[in-house]
């Protein structure tokens, strides 16, 4: 089991191989469809407005060597105004394929957490950056929430709780590297093997 803490260095990323199991600690940020679309439209493809610059600069700091988590959490607001994650399962990542490579490069991300894997454009960004895709366990939302030790901030709550960008501190968050910085994707391998077996069955 490999232990990593954000921010993660290029050397640590390059040392990872598809199939490695990792316990991730440190600060990570959640982001789903609405968040990715916002990042592209407001920061990456267009000039940053004066109104959004503080948020932009904060994300540049958080994401530099950091990790984004495809997650729509279930949260509870405490009496003191703080938040607690009740469930924190991964969201299917493929919906972010159209955005992810640009987000990885612009913000110097080193990791993406989700489920189901991603495709060639994201894989190439992982090779070039370098970065990796961490697969989290689907169906284990309550278990994963135990790894979330603190909610540090929430941005864009107007998007709704699942789509907001939650800044969280995690300890020993269990993930598996399924797309590495050397161009290996377990998801592609499984898909190819499945197609081969299906063709034999149908022959």
Domain ranges of the chain: 2-202
- pLDDT exceeds cutoff 50 at 28: yes
pLDDT tens track for 137-195: 866 677 788 999 999 999 999 999 999 999 999 999 999 999 999 999 998 765 555 55
List the CATH code of the domain at 2-202.
Answer: 3.20.130.10
DSSP H or E run through 180: none
Q: What is the DSSP string of 77-89?
A: E-TTS-EEEEE-P
Mean pLDDT of 127-146: 87
Question: How many other C-beta atoms are found inside a 10 Å radius of the C-beta of residue 19?
Answer: 11
Mean pLDDT of 35-43: 98
pLDDT tens track for 1-18: 899 999 999 999 999 999
**CA atoms of 23 and 185, how far apart (whole Å):** 20
What's the mean per-residue pLDDT of the chain? 92
Phi first, then psi: what are they for 51, rounded to 5°? -65, -40
pLDDT at 202: 56
pLDDT at 198: 44
| Helix extents (H) in the chain | 10-15, 33-39, 53-63, 97-107, 120-128, 141-145, 186-202
Burial call 119-146: b when 16+ CB within 10 Å, e when fewer: beebbebbeebbbbbbbbeeeebeebbe
pLDDT tens track for 99-120: 999 999 999 999 999 999 999 9
pLDDT at 199: 52
Mean pLDDT of 126-138: 94
**CA atoms of 85 and 83, how far apart (whole Å):** 7
pLDDT at 203: 61
pLDDT at 144: 83
- CA-based R_g, the chain, Å: 17
Residue 108 carries which DSSP code?
T
Catalytic residues: 36
Which of 133, 108, 130 is closest to 118 using CA atoms? 133
Angle at 183 between CA 129 and CA 120, to 5 degrees: 85
What whole-number percentage of the chain has pLDDT above 70?
Answer: 91
For 97, the token pair is 């394929």
């Amino acid at each position: 089991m490999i232990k990593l803490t954000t921010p993660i260095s290029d050397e640590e990323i390059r040392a990872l191989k598809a199939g490695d199991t990792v316990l991730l600690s440190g600060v990570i940020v959640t982001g789903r469809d609405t968040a990715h679309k916002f990042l592209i439209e407001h920061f990456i493809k267009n000039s940053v407005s004066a109104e959004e610059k503080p948020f932009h600069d904060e994300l540049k700091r958080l994401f530099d060597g950091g990790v984004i988590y495809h997650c729509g959490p279930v949260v509870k607001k405490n009496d003191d105004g703080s938040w607690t994650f009740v469930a924190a399962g991964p969201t299917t990542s493929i919906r972010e394929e159209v955005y992810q490579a640009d987000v990885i490069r612009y913000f110097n991300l080193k990791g993406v957490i989700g489920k189901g894997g991603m495709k060639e454009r994201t894989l190439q960004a992982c090779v070039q950056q370098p970065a990796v895709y961490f697969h989290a366990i689907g169906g284990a939302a309550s278990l994963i929430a135990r790894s979330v030790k603190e909610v540090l901030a929430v941005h864009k709550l107007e998007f709704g709780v699942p789509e907001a960008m939650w800044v969280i501190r995690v300890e020993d968050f269990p993930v598996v590297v399924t797309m590495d910085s050397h161009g290996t994707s377990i998801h592609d391998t499984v898909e190819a093997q499945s197609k081969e077996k299906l063709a034999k069955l149908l022959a």
